[in-house]
Structure 1
C-alpha cells in the first residue's frame, strides 16, 4: 500500500490501560507513517523497564517524555487525592506541550520541543485528553480520537451536557454510566470527569478528522449511527480497526522467559482445567477480598493462574508464597506479577477467565474463546462485563467494584466460575469464531488500511 507518509503525534495520559492500546495502535500505524509517542516523563521511563517499549524493536516510534513533574503511578482508582494532585500536572504538561510543537499548518514556528525536528501533521489521542483536544482545535492541528473502548464511550460523550447532575469523584461508585438510546442518564456523573474530559471532548469531536474504535464495525453499527446523528457529527468518519491486541514480544528478555515457563506449566495441565484470574494493571485488592479468593482457589481444587500485583503478594498465606516459583510445572497454583495474558488465554488448557473486564482484557478473552466471569471494578468495565453476558459468553459479579464495600465470598466465586465454564463455553467459542470472521480482510483489517490511506490524504 503506497501512501503519503505523515508525522503523527500520539499523546497518552499516564495510565497503562490507556497507554498500552494507544501504543499498540502506534506500532501498527508506524509501518506507514512516522510516529512520535508522547507521555508523562515518568511513564516514558517506565515503559522500557516494564518491557512495553523497546527502542530497537520499536525503531519506527520515537518516545517523547512530557516534563509534567508527575512522580506517582496512576494505579489506584480509590485514591481520589492522588488523581486530584496529578490531574493539574497532567493537564498543564500536555497542554503546554501541544502549544509548543511545530505543525505542518505553522511550519515557520520555531519549535521549543527540540526532539520534534519534523512538523506534526496530526495528533492521535484518546477520549481522556479532552482538555488537550481543545488546544489542538485552536491550533488547527488535525485530530484523530482513539476509542480504546467500544463506540458507546463516544456516545456517552456526545450525550452529556452541562446541566447533568454531578457529584464529587470521591462520592461516585467508580463506574461510568452509558446513557440509553435516547442519550438519557439516570445517575450523576463525576464533576471532575464531566468538566475536564467529557465536555471539552464533546466540543471538538465534530471537528475531529476521524474517530478510531478498538472494535469491529459489525458490533458497533447501531451506536455509530446514533453518534453520527448528533449535531456536527454527520461527516466525521468512524474506523473500527480492532481488536487492537497486544502483540507478543520476541527475544530473550525477562518477559519472554516468563512466557516460556508459563507455557510449559500450562502444557502439563488437562484440557480446559485451568482458571485464569486477573484484575489488570490497576486494581489493588483488599486483604479481605484476597482472603476469599485464596479460599476459592483451595475449594476449586483445580489449576489456577493468578496475575497478582507485587504489592499484594506478601499478603498470600505462607504455603502459597511458593506459587510464585515458575520452575515447578507440576504445581497447581501459579502466581505471576506479570502474565503473558494473550498466550494464556489462547491455550487450550485454560477453561475460564476471571476478569475485571477492561476492554483490552475483554477482547483478549473473547479472542481466545474463553468464557468470562466479569468482575468489574471501575470506569466502563461494568458496561464491558454486561456486553459479555449479553452475547452469552459469561456472567457478571455485581456490586463488588473497587469502591464497593462488598467482599465476594469464596462460595460465590467458586459457584460462578464453575457455572460459567459449564454453561457459557459454547457461547464464548461461537463468539470467538464470529470475531475472527469479522477480522478478515473484508472487515477490520480493511478498515485499518482505509484509515492509513485516509491519514495520508488528510
Structure 2
C-alpha cells in the first residue's frame, strides 16, 4: 500500500460485488481521487483480479480483497446467492475491520481513514464503521432516488414504524413493483417476498450515516430529492460516468471499469462508423436481466421489420433463444449490413456515437443515467423492480422515451416494439424526445461541472473530512 502523506484524506470504499453496483462507486472513487482524496476500494478477490488487469486505468486507487470468492465460493457455490451473502458478511466484515485498522496503524495522524463509503446493500458495513470508531459513514444507493423513496413505506411497514413522510405515490402515480423470479433468499414468510426484504435492508442504520449518496443529480429528481432530504442527509453526486463523457476534468478518464463480458469494441465502433447519423437502434438489457425466448423472438422480428440498422447485445446465455430464421441470416456476428449482434458492447462509447438514434433498454438505473447523460431517447422495456419505476419516469416525468404496452404475461409484441422505435426515430413525438434528451444532457454535464450541484456535494463531503 503506497504512502498517503500527500492526500487530503483517506476513504475506504466498499461496493457491492455486481457490475451495476461496482462501476458507479468506482467512478465516484475516481472523482474523489482527482480532488486529492486517497481511495482504497475493498471488494471480492475475483473483482480485484478483474479490475487489476487494467491496473494502469486505476493507478490512483488501491484495491484490496476482503473475501476470497474464488476459494470459498461466489453465488454459484453451496447455498446459492443467500449462502454467498452470508459468507461475504461473516468473512468480509472481519477482513474489512482488519484492513481499516491496518491502514490506521500504518498511517500518520493526517492520513488515517476518515470515512467508509459503502453500498447500501451491504448494511452490515455500518457496524464495521462503528467498531473501528471515529470515522464518518456514507451509504451509497445505486438505484434512483425515486425507487428508494418508493420502497421506504414498505420498510416502515415491515418494521412497524410510522413513516416520517407520506408515500411517494402521493406525488407520482407510480406503477406497482414487479417481483422477478430471482434466486431464493430464504423462506416465503410474511407479507414481503425475500428479495423485497433483502432490498429493504438498505435502510438499516441509514439514520447513522453522515451522508446518503445517490448516483443522480438534483435537477433530474428534484421533487423526490427534496422529499427525501426531510428524512436523511441526501447528497446526489452523479452522474457517475467517466470524465471524458461529461466534463473532461479527470485526465484520460474514459474507462468505466468492470465488465461481466469482454466488449466487442473494435467491431462495434467500426460498424457504427459506417452508419448515417441517428440511423441505428441500440438494444441492450444489461448484465442482470434475462429475457425469455418469446420476448427475444418478438424483439428479433421487430428489428427485421424496421428499416433501420441495429446493434443488439445478446449475452451468451441468451444466444440459444434467438429464433432460427434470425440466426440463419447472421454470419460472423453480422446480419448483412443491416444489423450487428455481439455478446457485449462498450455501452458508453456506443451511446455517444452519432449514428445511434434510440436505445431499447431494460431501464436499469445505470443504463437510464447513461442514456440521459449522453442524450439518447429510450424505448423502455423494464423487467423487474426499480426498472419499472425508472421506465415510468423516462416516459411520464422526463419525457425522454416511450414504454411499450405488454400483454398479460409481461411480453411486448413485435408490432408494439416496432411502433415505439419508429415513433422515436421518425415520428413527431420523437422530435419532442430529442429536444428533451438534449436538455437533460446539458443539465447532467452542468451538475458535475465545477461548481455544479453534484460537484458541490462532493466538495462538501471532502471539506468536512478535511476539517
Check if 1:397 corresponds to 2:404. yes
Check if 1:259 corresponds to 2:265. yes
Instruction: Give CA deviations for 1:164-198 in whole Å, capped at 9, x if unaligned.
Output: 399xxxxxxxxxxx843589998897454565453
Other-structure match for 1:169: none
Contact 1:245 1:360 (8 Å CA) reproduced = no
CA distance in 1, matches of 2:159, 2:131: 29
CA distance in 1, matches of 2:286, 2:73: 18
Instruction: Give CA deviations for 1:118-142 in whole Å, capped at 9, x if unaligned.
Output: 8432111122111322332354331
Instruction: Give CA deviations for 1:337-382 in whole Å, capped at 9, x if unaligned.
Output: 2212122212222111100111111111122222101111223111
Moved more, 408-417 or 258-267: 258-267
Other-structure match for 2:339: 333
Assess, with a 3 A threshold, how the Cα gap between structure 1 residues 298 and 434 changes in structure 2: closer, same or farther.
closer
State the Cα distance separating 1:278 from its structure 2 match: 0.3
Check if 1:11 corresponds to 2:18. no
Partner of 1:436: helix, strand, or coil? Answer: helix
Match of 2:129 among 114, 136, 144: 136
With normalisation by structure 1, the TM-score equals 0.78
Contact 2:144 2:214 (8 Å CA) reproduced = yes
Q: How does 1:294-333 map to 2 (within 5 A)?
A: 294-316=300-322, 317=324, 318-322=327-331, 324=333, 331-333=337-339
Other-structure match for 2:146: 152
Q: How does 1:33-432 map to 2 (within 5 A)?
A: 33-48=37-52, 54-69=54-69, 82-103=80-101, 107=104, 119-140=112-133, 141-156=135-150, 158-161=152-155, 163-164=157-158, 179-181=168-170, 190-193=192-195, 195-196=197-198, 198-199=200-201, 201-230=202-231, 233=232, 236=233, 238-246=234-242, 248-249=254-255, 258-316=264-322, 317=324, 318-322=327-331, 324=333, 331-390=337-396, 391-397=398-404, 405-421=409-425, 422=427, 423-432=429-438
Partner of 2:139: helix, strand, or coil? Answer: strand
Moved more, 201-210 or 447-456: 447-456
Other-structure match for 1:175: none
State the Cα distance separating 1:143 from its structure 2 match: 0.8
What number of residue pairs does the alignment pair up?
414
Contact 2:306 2:418 (8 Å CA) reproduced = yes
State the Cα distance separating 1:280 from its structure 2 match: 0.6
State the superposition RMSD in angstroms: 3.7
Contact 1:4 1:456 (8 Å CA) reproduced = no
State the Cα distance separating 1:405 from its structure 2 match: 4.3
CA distance in 1, matches of 2:151, 2:112: 30
Q: How does 1:430-441 map to 2 (within 5 A)?
A: 430-437=436-443, 438-439=446-447, 440-441=449-450
Unaligned runs of 5+ in 1: 76-80, 112-117, 167-177
Instruction: Give CA deviations for 1:183-236 in whole Å, capped at 9, x if unaligned.
Output: 99988974545654534x434222212122211112333223322323xx3xx3
CA distance in 1, matches of 2:274, 2:171: 52
